[in-house]
Amino acid sequence: MIRVLLFGRLSDIAGWRERPIEAPPRTLSELRAMLSAEDERLGEALAAKGVQAAIDKVIVRTDVALAAGMEVAFLPPMSGG
């Protein structure tokens, strides 16, 4: 099982913030494809400029293999202060 977290506009679009996936795909890109196939609007939002992914709270810029227990977060452009 992996956990998928959505932040900012992504969770509003998807209608969920956190979701366990019992049988996760093999890679991060396959996970994006799976989420996009389920929800076209979320797919578009995930593909938007500036959306980053973090695995176990570390930003990843390349495709990576997923393993049980991982926490995958999708992060839209950040804005603090």
Partner 1 sequence: MDVRLQAEPFDPGALLTHFCAGRSETGAVVSFTGIARASAGAVTTLELEAYPGFTDAEIARIAEAAMARFSLQDVLIVHRIGPIAPGEAIVFVAAASSHRREAFEAADHLMDYLKSRAPFWKKEHGPGGARWIEPTARDIADAERWD
Contact residues for partner 1, defined by CB under 8 A: 5, 7-9, 12, 50, 54, 57, 73, 75-81
- CA dist., res. 68 & res. 3, Å (int): 9
Q: Which is nearer to partner 1, 3 or 33 (CB)?
A: 3
Place of tokens 């839209």: 76
Work out how close the CB of 78 gets to partner 1 at its nearest, in angstroms, rounded to a whole number. 5
Q: Which is nearer to partner 1, 57 or 61 (CB)?
A: 57
Work out how close the CB of 76 gets to partner 1 at its nearest, in angstroms, rounded to a whole number. 6
Q: In what order do the strands lie in the sheet with 52-55?
A: 18-21, 2-6, 71-75, 52-55, 58-60
Closest-CA residue to 40 (of 63, 22, 17, 13): 13
Work out how close the CB of 50 gets to partner 1 at its nearest, in angstroms, rounded to a whole number. 8
